[in-house]
Each structure stands twice: as structure tokens, then as C-alpha cells.
């Protein structure tokens, strides 16, 4: 409950325009702990640096809830350009996109613009042997995102497109069960949006228990799991689970955020586990940065100390 109250307080404050203006004006240097840069060139440089340590990457051009169809198309084109740039540098592209950023909920020619642009992105990624993860957003978008995910898997295959499930939503275990026929590639996260208690679990213990159930169920179903957490107790439990059930290290991977617990990322890679860092980049970094601060008080103290020094 304390974790929920802390997250709610931080995200509520972050929504205030004076706070946003202050952080945008003085906080970029601090945001660089969590954000690889503002350009694709900087992001791809981070990919290469991590690869030298045996760590894979998941690139995310930041931006969400973009308003106009033209801006959505522009955002999609920027992602397509990223795929081209990665391929040109010999990098097999692995990217995440938020469907809201490419037009989900907006209609063009009788078709959802988000799905139309996602098709362009997943199609190009598949041509390069790459992968696209459809990020999950706040709870009103879950149904449409899962429906569009199902459509894209049918068109491009589960080896080229995956999605995310959030353990703090009460509905998520049923959502995972309903996807089993696809043998989907799923990224399991706890959830970072400010959600009402009517749809999301307020207690950390319940969220953690749900997280474990989701990971274990997906592993037992024989589908690929991205265990996206920095929680060392969960990581230890997953290690024990796969050992006890004879699950190959090729059947899952650990995913962590860029700039957070780099020591743990290196350690897991050295132990022979597949590890992937989620690398966000771009100019629209404030919302992402706010969610990272809301995850733990230590992140907030890091920012406050940095701004006082600035």
C-alpha cells in the first residue's frame, strides 16, 4: 500500500505543469541516467556498448498519446528510420512501440491508424529478421491493444511481434490464458501507470504474487517469456523455477531498464542468462522519466539531489 501511495503521489505531482516545466528545463542531465539520448544515433551507440558486455537491447522511441494523425504518421516513419539505421549498422532491430504513438484510436480510410502504422513497422522489422514489442499502456487501451496484437501475430508471426502484460491489473491472468493459442512472446511487467484500485491491485505483495504466477504459467505453457524486473527475489525465484522444471535458458530472458542495476544485468549475462536492456531515447522523455521516479524513492532522491546541485 505504501508503494502505491508513493507512486500515486509522484505521478500526481508530475502532472502539474510548473513541475513539468521545471524538470524539462533543468532535468535532462538527470534523465540521461534512464534515457540513452535524444537521437537514434545515440541510442544505437548505447546498443553497441551494451553488446560488448553480452547484453541485448530493446529500443524505444519515446512518445505517447500523440494527437494528430499527421504526427502519428511522422512518429511511425521515425521508427521505420530507426529500423533502417539499425540494419545499416549490422544490428538486428528489436524495438518497442506504443500503439497510441502511431495512431491507435484514430481512423483513416476506415481502418485504425495505429494498426495500419504497426503493420508497416512490424513488416519492416520482419524483413530485417527483427522484432517489435507492442507496449501496454493504461487500462482503457488493453482490449484494443490485445486485439491488434492478435491480428499482427496472425499476419507476421509470433517470432516477430510480441506484447506486454501488467501484473498489477486484476484482469491480466485471464488475458494471458486467452492468448495461449498464439504461443505469444510476452513481456511481463508489474505496471507503472496510475490506475484506480477498481482495476489494479494496491498492495505490492499481491502484484508480486501475480507477477510470479504470470511468468510461471507462461513458461509452463511453453511460450517465450521476457521477465522484466529488477526485483532480485523474483529473479532468484525464476532461476529456481526453471531449474526445477527443466526449462532451457533459451526459453526466456531477463529484461531490465537502461541505467538501472547495470551490475545485476552484467552478473546475469555472465551467468549465461539472456539479458536485454530496454533503451528509451528521444526528446519526449518527461512521461517516461516521471514513471521511473515513481517506481522507488531512491530515484526521487537522485533527482532532488541533482537539481539542488544544479
- What sign has the CA pseudo-torsion 164, 165, 168, 170? positive
User: Do the Cβ atoms of 218 and 189 come closer than 8 Å?
Assistant: no
**Residue 73: predicted pLDDT:** 97
> pLDDT confidence of 301, banded at 50, 70, 90?
very low
Q: Compute the average pLDDT of residues 84-103.
A: 97
Mind telling me the catalytic residues? 135, 187
Q: In the chain, pLDDT over 70 holds for what percent of residues?
A: 81
**Residue 309: predicted pLDDT:** 42
* Angle at alpha carbon of residue 148, lines to 256 and 211, rounded to 5°: 35
Write the CATH number of the domain with boundaries 36-284. Answer: 3.20.20.220
The pLDDT tens digits of the residues spanning 117-148 come to: 999 999 999 999 999 999 999 999 999 999 99
Per the prediction, the chain carries an average pLDDT of 88
d(CA 207, CA 82): 34
Residue 187: phi, psi to the nearest 5?
A: -100, 120
- What sign has the CA pseudo-torsion 117, 174, 178, 219? positive
Q: pLDDT: is 98 or 8 the higher one?
A: 98
Amino acid at each position: 500500500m505504501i508503494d502505491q501511495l508513493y507512486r500515486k503521489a509522484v505521478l500526481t505531482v508530475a502532472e502539474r505543469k510548473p513541475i513539468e516545466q521545471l524538470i524539462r528545463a533543468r532535468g535532462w542531465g538527470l534523465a540521461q541516467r534512464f534515457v540513452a539520448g535524444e537521437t537514434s544515433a545515440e541510442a544505437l551507440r548505447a546498443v553497441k556498448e551494451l553488446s560488448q558486455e553480452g547484453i541485448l537491447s530493446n529500443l524505444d522511441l519515446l512518445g505517447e498519446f500523440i494527437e494528430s494523425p499527421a504526427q502519428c504518421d511522422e512518429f511511425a516513419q521515425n521508427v521505420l528510420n530507426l529500423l533502417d539505421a539499425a540494419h545499416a549498422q549490422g544490428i538486428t532491430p528489436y524495438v518497442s512501440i506504443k500503439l497510441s504513438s502511431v495512431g491507435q484510436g484514430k481512423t483513416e480510410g476506415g481502418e485504425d491508424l495505429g494498426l495500419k502504422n504497426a503493420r508497416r513497422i512490424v513488416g519492416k522489422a520482419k524483413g530485417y529478421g527483427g522484432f517489435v514489442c507492442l507496449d501496454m499502456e493504461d487500462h482503457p487501451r488493453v482490449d484494443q491493444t490485445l486485439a491488434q496484437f492478435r491480428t499482427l501475430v496472425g499476419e507476421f508471426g509470433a517470432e516477430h511481434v510480441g506484447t506486454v502484460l501488467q501484473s498489477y491489473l486484476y484482469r491480466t491472468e485471464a488475458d494471458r490464458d486467452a492468448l495461449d493459442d498464439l504461443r505469444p512472446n510476452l513481456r511481463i511487467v508489474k505496471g507503472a501507470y496510475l490506475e484506480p484500485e477498481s482495476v489494479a491491485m494496491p498492495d505490492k505483495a499481491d502484484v508480486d504474487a501475480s507477477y510470479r504466477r504470470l511468468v510461471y504459467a507462461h513458461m509452463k505453457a511453453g511460450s517465450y517469456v521476457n521477465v522484466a524486473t529488477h526485483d532480485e527475489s523474483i529473479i532468484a525465484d525464476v532461476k529456481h523455477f526453471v531449474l526445477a522444471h527443466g526449462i532451457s535458458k533459451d526459453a526466456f530472458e531477463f529484461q531490465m531498464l537502461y541505467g538501472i542495476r547495470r551490475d545485476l544485468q552484467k552478473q546475469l549475462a555472465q551467468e549465461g542468462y539472456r539479458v536485454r536492456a530496454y533503451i528509451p531515447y528521444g526528446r519526449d522523455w518527461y512521461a517516461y522519466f516521471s514513471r521511473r521516479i515513481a517506481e522507488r524513492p531512491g530515484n526521487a532522491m537522485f533527482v532532488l539531489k541533482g537539481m539542488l546541485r544544479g
